[in-house]
Every structure is written in C-alpha cells, then in structure tokens.
C-alpha cells in the first residue's frame, strides 16, 4: 500500500506596524494611493480577497467562492491584527471563522499559528525580549482565536537555539524554517549525522533537541517551489501551480510525504494580482482529490511524529543568505542595486545603545512601581489588547503594581511600560530590509525611538543627543539628509507629539468641527475636552478662543491650557497656547479680545496677543496629517468651486470651438482641454449620483455629455468615475431589505452598470458581488424569496459577473 501524501500551503501574512506612535492611528500614506494607507491597500488586494476568493468559469463569471484561510496554513502579525480589529473587523471575523472551520476538519488542529509579536529578529534580541516577544505573540493569538497556538512563526524565519528555547518554554510545539537553515540530521536513535550537502528532505517533521532538555518540532518547507510562487510567477496559472505542487512528491520516499511551501501571504493578491484566485483554484482541486489530503502542520505532526532529529544553523534566516546580517550590516542583500546599505550597522548600534539605557531605566525606576518589572512587562500585553480600557489598566496595576501607587507613580508606571513597548517596536525587522535610511519603514522605527526618548525625559534622562550622535555614522543615499542626524532632524523630530501639540491640534480643529458637543477624539490615544469656546467669523477668517484639557489614554498624564486661534483666511493660521493666565484674568482678556476681532484691526488684535497672551505658538503644520488634509480640503473647497464655475463657463462658451478644432484634427490647447474635461468629469459624476438616487432613471444625460466630448477626444477620468460607480452600487445593494424593493434596486444597479459601460470602464465589483450574494442568502434563509424575486436575482447575477448556478450555493 502506498504511503499517504499530504499538501500544506502556508502563508505568512504581515505588515509592519504603521500607526503614528503617539496617536495610535495610521495616518494617510500618499505612496499607497488611491488608498488611505498601505494596510488598507494590502487588505484590499490580499487579506480581504482571500476570505472570499473567486473561482470563475470560461466566461469570467463566479462559479464558487472559497475562504482560502479555511484550507491553508497561515499566520498573521499581531500588530496587523490589532489594526484589522478596528479598521477591517469583517475581514478579521472571516479569518477567525476560517480557523474554527479548519479545527473541525483537522481533528482539532487549526490552520492559524502564532507569530512573535512585532517581527523582531529574534537571534539579535536579548533574552528578556525573546521571552516577551513570544509571550505577547501567544497572548495575542489566544485573544484573537480563542485557543492556544500549536506553532509560531519567527520573523524572517530568523532562528538560533535560544529562540527555539523561548518557543518551547511557552508551550509552542513547532515552527517553520527554510531548508538551508538545517545544519545536519539523523534518524532518531542513530549516531551518525548527515551534513547539509544535498539538502534536507522537506517532506517530514524533524525533532530538535534543546540544551534545556526540551524539544521542538521543525518543518523545512520546499524551497524551490516556494521560490517559484514568490518570485517566478507560478501564480499566473492555477493549473501550473497545482502541477508544480504534485511535482514536489518523490516516489522513492518510503514514508508519508508532506509537500509544503511557505511564502509571504501577500503573494496571493498583493504581490501577484489575482494570486488569491490561483490559490483558490488549487485548494478546491486538492480538497476533492482522493489521492492527496490537504492538511496543516499540527494535524500532520499528530499523525506522523518525527522519525528524524535535526540541528540548525545558528543565526540563519529565509531572506538573507548571510544569516541575520541584513539586520545588522551591509551584507549585500538589497532591493535597489545602486544604493548602499552602510547605514544598517550604525542604525543597529545606535538603537542597541539606546535600548541599553532604556532597559536600565526600566530595571531601576520600575522597582518603584512594580514588584517585578519584567514580569509586569510580560503581562502588559493585556493592556495593549484592551487599548484605552481604564478597567484593563487598573486590573493590570492591581496585579503587578505596588498597592500604594499614587497618581504620579501610576503615570510613571504606565510611561515605563510604554517606553518598553516602543523599545521593542523600534526593532521591527522591516526597518533594515530595504535600502534607504529615510524610507517609510526605517523612519517608523526611528519614530518609536523618538517616543521612548521623549518619555524618558520625564525621568530626567535626556538620551537624544547621544542617540543622534550615534546616527551620524549611518549614511543616507539621499544628499538632502546626508546621514542619520539629517534624517532625524528633518523627518523624525518634527513628528514628535506632546500634549501641547494635541491641544493645538484640537484648538485649530474647533473652527471646522462637526457637531457641537465640545468633545473630540481625533487621535485615539488622547481624550480632549473643550471646557470653554468662543468662535467668531470675519470675512474669510475666524477666531477661536477658549480652554482645553487633554489626557493621555495610555499614561493618564494631563494638561490644560487657554488658547487663541486666529485664522486669517486661506491656509494662514496662528495659534497660541497659554497656561499662565488665571481663569479670571483669561475671561477678562477674552472680553477685550472679542470686540477687537469684531470691529478692530487685525494688527491691533495681534498686538494684544503678543503683549498679554504669552505662550507657545503653532501653525497649520502642527495639525496631525489626516485632520490637516481635512481642513485644507474645506479651506480650498470654495476656491475649487470658483474654478469649477469658471471651467463650466469656458466649456460652454468654447464648445463650438472645441468641436471645430476636433473636426480639423487640430491639437486641443491644454487650457481648453483642461477646462472642458473638468466640466464633463464633474457633470458625469453628478449624473452617476443621480442614477443612484434620482426618481427618474435615464442614461440620456450621460450619453449627451459623452457626445459633447467625443469630437475633440475627451477621455473620462475613469479611475475616479469607476470608484463613484462602485460606491454607488454598494450603497444601492445595502438598500435591499425584505425583497419588497428589489425591483427598484435592480433597476438602479443596471443603470449604473450601463453608465460604466458607456464610459468605457469596468468598476471594481468585488464588494458589490459579496453584498449581492449575502443579500440573496439572507433572503433565501428567511424564506422570503418567491419565484419572481429569484428571477430578479438571476438577472442581476449575470450583470454582476456571477453565474446563476451560484445562487444554489451555500458557504
């Protein structure tokens, strides 16, 4: 009888933490456009599609939908899941549900495995950091998936024996490594080792004995096929991917074979468009093949325990042939050939020096607050997982803190733990992976260092100058920075947030706030209360005056200040914060300030401010990025409307000229083309909105607008208009209730799709198709679908590229 054959596809799904360290939110990242930030973009391209991966027929219509996570092995970075819990809870819910379904199929073994907390390179971490990284990863996994993890992914599969000891000590049964990380192996019970000359057999589990007497199982993935998936476009065709997986079996092996690969999960959709669909094709085919069994590592390990033992190469990894040198030296691994990475070593050295000081601070001052500071740090993950819950913070302090902590000691305790959190986050591996010191990932690590440095000042430790001096040894590839000091002064120091900046941010925002409850929470990490406010308008400008109180939701420290904001119009703001005036003096000052603003000169107003309201000044630059963009948009909206009216006038006045030039094939002058294109784009957007919501439904206005531009070569702004159509379709389908309005919904959906076709664009229907199928299943399960409603759904299915046969499908 032949030995059984198994296949396991593992995806390592991970993004580095991208939150502003002070604000606790991911700010807008222009490089991720048209999405708000890279987390959002990669979720749209990979994480979400894999929860509902499409299988298509030869006409490109959906025939089935698969939650890939329910059939593959996977891990998600804890910091990514923390973001997802707030920003994309539906995606997270489907990932967790997939793990539950896999446990039912795989004898209690779930597809999900854990990950060390923030993708720190474990061999380069201290012993206490190794322990905390593993314990935090386990705690996060337990919180998300409701069970203990069997396996854990190590960042970049970087490994040493001490890291394996940390895993085993936490109860982890296995981890996954690259084949070149195996040093030698032998059958259990034999004496002779086989050195890694020809390469280890990846088709079975291996036992790794540890110096402590514990052991852990290791799986070495198939390196060749994994490489082809990640870098050689194996995902271009599902049939080829499937065939290559079967080609990984070897008929000469005399044991049950596990054919398994491991790649970045983002290969399935983000790095390779539609890679999620190729994966779904393979998973569905394998799930129905009687000659092979889809499995995960936990199930295989139970069914087929190791018969061989192995030793590893210390300080090795999957993405650097030099081991872990990519994260501490200019090893030669790079993503851009003409840039140097001489900054990597000095960056590591500077952070190590800072970390030593921060750990010493925690060890010494921490004893004032905690019975066991390092045990408290291990337990702080409970607070992180319940961010901003005062009940969770108090329960944590009751367990780990001294019983008699006063308010200042409580704030000190929380600051010390936040310093330790940042001191680990600043070692996130992506900071070294790419080629430039001033890159997005590296400056993110430096921002964590900056926050730790700023909080250390509260303990009379000024660590900045020594750290920045060390950074001078890190050369940038860009002349405008020169070295690490230039990056720090231009990119990092301006981003630092304190309570004064939080107060200034909210003071400016009051002029354009929505609602009038006097309370705003734009930055998740702070509560800001408006104690008093007066807002006046004068022409295009504004005046805001009052008093604010800010409180950190992480460290519970507070600040209160009077404020005056003078908006001169446009983007010119002048903000002053002052805490020097008593409440009575401030009211008296305010009583003189407001009449001057109403009827006096602005010069007189500014003299009064300079002379009688001393304090720190702030400008629009001090607003946090998303709020800054929002306010700039509001300020500029009137100007945009003026431009639009001017363009409309020009387009109408010059329509005959444009048509004549078009017939003569004369190149349309840029000013004329810009004015007319802006006019047509605007009115097409209005017509799309009208098709979604209007009482009368006709494509005639859209056709008329297209006809106006046809003679001179008008091209619609397809990306923006396609997004408008997709969003209109989503809103329309959300309107399906009990089926009574299905006819109206169908009419509007078809009109929007007809408008898109008329404009020569194909909107993104992924979410629209999901809503359509969810609505059908909901109404079907409710028993409210009669034959006429089913007929409407069947017609809509064709328009939405869904095979009518799917309407008989259940997840």
Q: What is the DSSP string of 64-89?
A: EEE-GGGTSEEEE-HHHHHHHHHH-H
If you search the block for the tokens 């700010």, which residue do you land on?
Answer: 27
Whether 1 has a pLDDT exceeding 60, the answer reads no
The pLDDT assigned to 115 comes to 98
Q: Band the pLDDT of 757: cuts 50, 70, 90.
A: very high
For residue 528, report the phi and psi dihedrals to the nearest 5 degrees. Answer: -125, 125
**Is residue 377 within 8 Å of residue 420, measured between CB atoms?**
yes
**Is residue 490 within 8 Å of residue 481, measured between CB atoms?**
yes
Q: What is the pTM of this model?
A: 0.94
d(CA 45, CA 473): 39
Q: Rounded to an integer, what is the distance from CA 750 to the centroid of its chain?
A: 34
Helix pair 625-653, 655-663: axis angle to 10 deg? 80
What is the rounded average pLDDT for all residues in the chain?
A: 93
d(CA 482, CA 480): 6
DSSP state of 307: S
d(CA 459, CA 454): 10
Q: Give every CB contact of residue 271 below 8 A, 6+ residues apart in sequence.
A: 230, 264
Q: Where are the domains of the chain?
A: 5-326, 344-495, 516-622, 635-716, 724-811
Whether 387 has a pLDDT exceeding 50, the answer reads yes
Closest by CA position to 796, among listed 716, 732, 710, 737: 732
Q: Band the pLDDT of 408: cuts 50, 70, 90.
A: very high
Q: Band the pLDDT of 695: cuts 50, 70, 90.
A: low
If you search the block for the tokens 């020096």, which residue do you land on?
Answer: 353
The answer to which of 299-303, 332-336, 511-515, 610-614 has the lowest mean pLDDT is: 511-515
d(CA 449, CA 412): 18
Say what percent of the chain tops pLDDT 70.
98
Whether 810 has a pLDDT exceeding 70, the answer reads no
The answer to which of 211-225, 397-411, 682-696, 765-779 has the lowest mean pLDDT is: 682-696
**Is residue 36 within 8 Å of residue 28, measured between CB atoms?**
yes
Element (H, E) at 114: strand 112-115
Q: Give every CB contact of residue 95 below 8 A, 6+ residues apart in sequence.
A: 47, 51, 69, 74, 76, 112
Say what percent of the chain tops pLDDT 90.
82
d(CA 169, CA 133): 12
CATH says 5-326 is which class? alpha beta
Mean pLDDT, residues 665-682 taken together = 86
pLDDT digits (tens, 9 = 90+) for 645-660: 877 777 787 778 888 8
d(CA 579, CA 487): 33
If you search the block for the tokens 């409180």, which residue do you land on?
Answer: 551
The pLDDT assigned to 180 comes to 95
Q: Band the pLDDT of 811: cuts 50, 70, 90.
A: very low
The pLDDT assigned to 748 comes to 92
- CB neighbour class for 332 (10 Å; exposed up to 12, middle 13-18, buried from 19): exposed
The pLDDT assigned to 694 comes to 67
Whether 752 has a pLDDT exceeding 80, the answer reads yes
Handedness of CA 499, 504, 505, 506 (dihedral sign): positive
Q: Give every CB contact of residue 198 below 8 A, 6+ residues apart in sequence.
A: none
**Is residue 282 within 8 Å of residue 245, measured between CB atoms?**
yes
For 496, the 3-state DSSP assignment is coil
**Is residue 757 within 8 Å of residue 68, measured between CB atoms?**
no
Whether 531 has a pLDDT exceeding 70, the answer reads yes
Backbone dihedral region for residue 333 (phi beyond 0: left; psi -120 to 50: alpha; all else: beta): beta
Residue 258 β-bridge partners = 6
pLDDT digits (tens, 9 = 90+) for 97-136: 999 999 999 999 999 999 999 999 999 999 999 999 999 9
For 10, the 3-state DSSP assignment is strand
DSSP secondary structure letters along 182-204: EEEEEETT--PPEESSS---TTS
DSSP state of 488: I
């Amino acid at each position: 009888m032949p030995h059984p054959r198994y296949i396991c596809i593992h995806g390592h799904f991970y993004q580095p933490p991208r939150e502003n360290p002070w604000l606790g939110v991911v700010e807008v990242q222009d490089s991720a456009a048209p999405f708000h930030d890279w987390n959002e973009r990669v979720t749209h391209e990979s994480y979400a599609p894999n929860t509902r991966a499409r299988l298509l027929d030869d006409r490109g219509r959906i025939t089935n939908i698969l939650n890939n996570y329910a059939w593959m092995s996977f891990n998600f970075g804890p910091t990514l899941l923390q973001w997802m819990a707030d920003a994309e809870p539906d995606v997270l819910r489907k990932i967790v549900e997939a793990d539950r379904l896999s446990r039912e199929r795989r004898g209690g073994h779930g597809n999900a495995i854990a990950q060390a907390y923030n993708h720190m390179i474990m061999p380069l971490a201290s012993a206490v950091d190794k322990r905390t990284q593993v314990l935090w990863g386990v705690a996060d996994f337990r919180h998300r998936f409701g069970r203990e993890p069997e396996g854990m992914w190590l960042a970049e599969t970087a490994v040493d024996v001490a890291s394996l000891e940390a895993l085993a000590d936490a109860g982890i049964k296995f981890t996954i490594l690259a084949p070149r990380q195996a040093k030698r192996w032998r059958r259990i019970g034999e004496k002779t080792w086989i050195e890694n000359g020809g390469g280890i057999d990846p088709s079975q589990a291996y036992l790794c004995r540890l110096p402590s007497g514990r052991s852990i199982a290791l799986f070495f993935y198939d390196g060749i096929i994994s490489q082809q998936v990640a870098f050689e476009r194996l995902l271009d065709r599902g049939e080829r991917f499937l065939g290559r997986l079967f080609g990984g079996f070897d008929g000469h092996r005399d044991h049950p074979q596990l054919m398994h690969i491991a790649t970045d999960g983002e290969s399935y959709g983000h790095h390779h468009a539609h890679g999620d669909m190729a994966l779904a094709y393979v998973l569905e085919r394998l799930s129905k093949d009687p000659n092979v069994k889809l499995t995960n590592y936990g199930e295989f390990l139970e069914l087929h325990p190791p018969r061989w033992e192995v030793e590893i190469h210390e300080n090795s990894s999957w993405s650097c042939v030099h081991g872990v040198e990519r994260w501490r030296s200019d090893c030669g691994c790079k993503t851009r050939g003409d840039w140097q990475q001489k900054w990597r070593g000095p960056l590591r050295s500077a952070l190590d020096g800072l970390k030593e000081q921060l750990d010493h601070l925690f060890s010494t001052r921490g004893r004032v607050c905690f019975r066991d500071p390092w045990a408290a740090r291990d337990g702080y993950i409970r607070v992180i997982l319940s961010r901003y819950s005062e009940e969770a913070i108090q329960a944590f302090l009751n367990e780990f803190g001294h019983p008699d902590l006063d308010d200042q000691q409580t704030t000190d305790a929380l600051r010390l733990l936040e310093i330790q959190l940042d001191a680990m986050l600043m070692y996130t591996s992506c900071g070294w992976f790419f080629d430039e010191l001033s890159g997005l990932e590296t400056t993110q690590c430096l921002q964590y260092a900056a926050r730790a440095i700023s909080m250390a000042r509260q303990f009379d430790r000024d660590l900045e100058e020594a750290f920045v001096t060390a950074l001078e040894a890190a050369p940038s590839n860009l002349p405008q920075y020169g070295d690490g000091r230039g990056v720090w002064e231009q990119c990092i120091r301006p981003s630092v947030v304190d309570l004064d900046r939080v107060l200034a941010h909210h003071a400016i925002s009051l002029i354009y706030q929505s609602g009038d409850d006097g309370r705003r929470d734009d930055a998740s990490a702070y509560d800001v209360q408006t104690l008093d406010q007066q807002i006046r308008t004068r022409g295009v400008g504004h005046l805001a005056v009052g008093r604010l109180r800010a409180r950190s939701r992480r460290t519970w420290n507070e600040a209160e200040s009077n404020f005056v904001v003078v908006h001169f119009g446009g983007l010119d703001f002048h903000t002053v914060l002052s805490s020097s005036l008593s409440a009575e003096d401030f009211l008296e000052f305010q009583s003189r300030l407001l009449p001057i603003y109403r009827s006096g000169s602005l010069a007189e107003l500014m003299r009064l401010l300079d002379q009688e309201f001393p304090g720190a000044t702030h400008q629009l630059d001090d607003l946090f990025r998303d709020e800054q963009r929002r306010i700039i948009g509001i300020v500029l909206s009137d100007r945009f409307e003026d431009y639009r009216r001017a363009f409309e006038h020009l387009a109408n006045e010059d329509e005959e000229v444009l048509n004549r030039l078009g017939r003569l094939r004369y190149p349309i002058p840029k000013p004329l083309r810009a004015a007319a294109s802006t006019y047509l784009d605007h009115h097409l957007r209005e017509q799309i909105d009208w098709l979604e919501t209007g009482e009368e439904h006709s494509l005639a206005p859209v056709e008329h607008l297209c006809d106006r531009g046809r003679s001179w070569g008008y091209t619609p702004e397809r990306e923006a208009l396609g997004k408008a159509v997709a969003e209109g379709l989503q809103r329309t389908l959300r309107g399906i209730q009990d089926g009574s309005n299905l006819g109206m919904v169908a009419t509007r959906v078809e009109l929007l799709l007809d408008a898109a076709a008329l404009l020569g664009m194909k909107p993104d229907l992924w979410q629209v198709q999901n809503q359509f199928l969810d609505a059908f299943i909901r109404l079907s399960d409710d028993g409210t679908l009669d034959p006429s409603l089913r007929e409407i759904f069947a017609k809509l299915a064709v328009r939405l590229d869904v095979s009518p046969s799917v309407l008989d499908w259940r997840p």
